[in-house]
Amino acid sequence: MQRFKTLLPQKYRFSLQALCSHPRPFSAQVHHHIDDDHDDPQQQILVEGRAKSRAAILNRPSSLNALTTSMVARLKRLYDSWEENSDIGFVFMKGSGRAFCSGADVVRLYNSLNEGNVEEAEQFFKTLYSFAYLQGTYLKPHVAILDGLTMGCGGGISLPGMYRVVTDKTIFSHPEAQIGFHPDTGASYYLSRLPGYLGEYLALTGDKLNGVEMIACRLATHFTLNARLPLLEERLGKLITDDPTIVETSLAQYGDLVYPDRSSVLHKIDTIDQCFCHDTVEEIIEALAKEAAESYDEWCISTLRNIREASPLSLKITLESIREGRFETLDQCLVREHRISLRQISKQVSSDFFEGVRARMVDKDFTPKWDPPTLKDVSDDMVQSFFSPLNEESELVLPTALREPYM
């Protein structure tokens, strides 16, 4: 594949550096869909493969492959065993249906927490972040095909890997601040390394990128048309290798040369930098309001609206998290995000996560009552309380002495 040469200025170019038993053959379509009410993780994470490779297929299509605790635990067990198996050369992940992964099953998490199952929720985040770290340190070539919706931690379980294939059906976003949460599962690492202040923009607004835009800012490594996926997967299924360059060459054979169209948000990079470079959310909003008043740009107006609809507390936490992520390693970002997540589900400072999920995904009245209700009511001490270390039993411990990220 000819790599996309981004139209962005050179100063903005970056790179996410890439260096089972009874498997079934690779196939472009999964035909073993199940009723999502069933909780069998072996059915919700299917396994396909050939002699030298394995594929994990997220298989909750009617729930847009939203992740549960048991699904993430199965993924981690599979990836651990595949890494140790010398007969397996590389691994592969995809989703069934019209989504790769829509993120965590936050409605299930919301219901579980409201029933008092705090330990289950804590186990979900611990397992999820441990799997993201495994991805970022995986010793074998890994291919993720992000065809369709890829939201929230759907990015976290794939983007730390070696090869990220996107298509003309890919839609990527981090809308967590709009439900009173924060971009997690390594998002503060990879968003903070996007061109300019694009990461802050995506994290605070929840705006979407398509597959072409993900190539342009190098969140993805390869682009192919959705219609070519059967050919690409057939080719991968025939490979007998553990050589990353051979896997990459096979991906490249079905790639396309693509450029962002004129409506792409990437053409707003100068305005994004001018508005989102500021130290506080209040200053960012002020800069956007000034730009909107001077330019009458509909993009500025809609961006302002999206930010103002989000949780004020989540906005401040998110901005701080992205800014800290610029200077931290992947494992440091995951440990910090874990602290924030456990505190956001604890209700100790605010119930915004519960209110956001209720308003947008349960009752769907889309009128969340945030607490605190405005940015001026969110103190610095309140924000910093989400970043302080947890007790020793609750802290996320990653095997950093044994595994070093290649990102």
Residue identified by tokens 């299930």 is 108
Q: Token pair for residue 1?
A: 């594949």
pLDDT of residue 62: 94
CA dist 389 → 219, 279, 338, 352 (Å)? 30, 23, 10, 21
In whole angstroms, give the CA distance from residue 3 to residue 128.
31
Q: Token pair for residue 96?
A: 């069934």
β-pair partners for 67: 104
Report which DSSP code applies to 363: S
pLDDT of residue 25: 41
What's the predicted TM-score (pTM) here? 0.90
How many residues are given for the chain? 407
In whole angstroms, give the CA distance from residue 194 to residue 200.
9
Quick count: other Cβ atoms within 10 Å of Cβ 239?
20
Q: Lay out the sheet containing 163-166: strands in order across.
A: 45-50, 53-58, 90-95, 142-146, 163-166, 222-223
Q: Please name which of 255, 248, 247 lies closest in space to residue 88, comparing C-alpha atoms.
A: 247
Q: φ and ψ at 372, to 5 degrees?
A: -65, 155
Cβ-based burial of 100 (10 A; exposed 0-12, middle 13-18, buried ≥19): buried
Q: φ and ψ at 16, to 5 degrees?
A: -80, 95
CA within 13 Å, CB half, 356: 28
Segment 327-360, tens digit of pLDDT: 999 999 999 999 999 999 999 999 999 999 999 9
Q: Please name which of 238, 219, 103, 231 lies closest in space to residue 163, comparing C-alpha atoms.
A: 219
pLDDT of residue 111: 96
pLDDT of residue 256: 84
∠ Cα 388 332 335 (to 5°): 55
In whole angstroms, give the CA distance from residue 399 to residue 137.
10
Per-residue buried b or exposed e for 215-225, using 16+ beta carbons within 10 Å of the residue's own CB: bbbbbbbbbbb
In whole angstroms, give the CA distance from residue 394 to residue 392.
6
The CA-to-CA distance between both ends of the chain, in Å, stands at: 22
Amino acid 68 reads: T
Cis bond upstream, residue 372 (ω within 30):
yes
Low-confidence spans in the chain with pLDDT less than 70? 1-38, 404-407
